[in-house]
Amino acid sequence: MPMPKIWSFGSINADHAYRVPHIPAPGETIAAREYSLGLGGKGANQSVAAAKAGATVAHVGLIGPEGLWAKERLAALGVDTQHIMQSATPTGHAIITVDETGENAITIFPGANRAFADAQLQALATEARPGDLLILQNETNLQAEAARIAVKQGLTVLYSAAPFSAQATSEVLPHISLLLLNEIEAAQLNAAVGTLPSGITVVVTKGSSGADWTSPDQTLHCPVFPVKPVDTTGAGDTFAGYLAAAIAEGQSPEAAMRLASAAAALKVTRKGTADAIPSRAEVDAFLASV
């Protein structure tokens, strides 16, 4: 029986990354020590992570007139890009500053990621099959519409509520199976929404404190793998993509969380975003070493 396909409905960005001595304070001007341009966006990062984990991944996305390079890069990294379309709106981009400890601050221009029309969701309605998975986040419009279509088609929906939006999250929550948050987003969600719908699995990542899985029938904690961070950008997306791939493989929650945590740990030891996400062979070797 073939492994379920992962459908990723999400953002595609050009990441402008700057290495700086520290994150600038309001009104402060500092000189960057390094600059790089690469593929990013939470959607693209999660697609690449799931593909590198070994899953079959189809990305549904929008790029601008100048964005064909991003589509080509996604394809080169193992993602099915036939459902990525071009828009008259410029490709989204992110300005990322990374300090000496690996912490970051990010400003996003949504661009084409917020220009979806219902027609771009047609592939989900016609090609997705029962048992497939949909992963999505809050960097596009039409997340709730995509989730509704996925549920109607019999898909499992995994949702990263980031960047956090109370309205977007409230609209998506009734249609999801797994909710993925970091500690800050979990606090924001609790303040904005309160009680979650029954039956949802919630995974909260806590940086150096590991990650928690809470489902109606199981609660577990996955400790962090100690590494020296170089760049934390994309670590959460790496975790999400690997977790989705492990779930598609039918792994247990414990095994899926361990795999995702190891992939995220390896990611923070490398500079960059999508291009820096480790392969499954690298993650398996890392797990074997620890």
Two structure tokens written together for 96: 């990322």
CA-only gyration radius of the chain, Å: 18
Q: Percentage of the chain surpassing pLDDT 90?
A: 87
Give the pLDDT band (50/70/90) at residue 136.
Answer: very high
pLDDT digits (tens, 9 = 90+) for 52-61: 999 999 999 9
Cross-strand bridge partners of residue 66 = none
Closest to 53 in 3D by CA, of 253, 265, 238: 238
User: Which of 132 and 190 is assigned the larger pLDDT?
Assistant: 132
**DSSP one-letter code for 118:** G
Distance separating alpha carbons of residues 36 and 140, to the nearest angstrom = 24
Which residue type occupies 216? P
Active-site positions read 237
Nearest CA to 243 out of 61, 49, 80, 77 is that of 49
C-alpha span between 37 and 158 (Å, rounded): 29
pTM for this prediction: 0.93
Dihedrals phi, psi of 269, to nearest 5 degrees:
-85, 5
Q: Is the pLDDT score of 1 beyond 70?
A: no
The two tokens of residue 35 are 């600059």
The CATH architecture one would assign to domain 6-12+40-91+112-289 is 3-Layer(aba) Sandwich (3.40)
Query: Is residue 159 a contact partner of residue 185, using CB atoms and an 8 Å limit?
Result: no
Largest separation between any pair of C-alpha atoms in the chain:
58
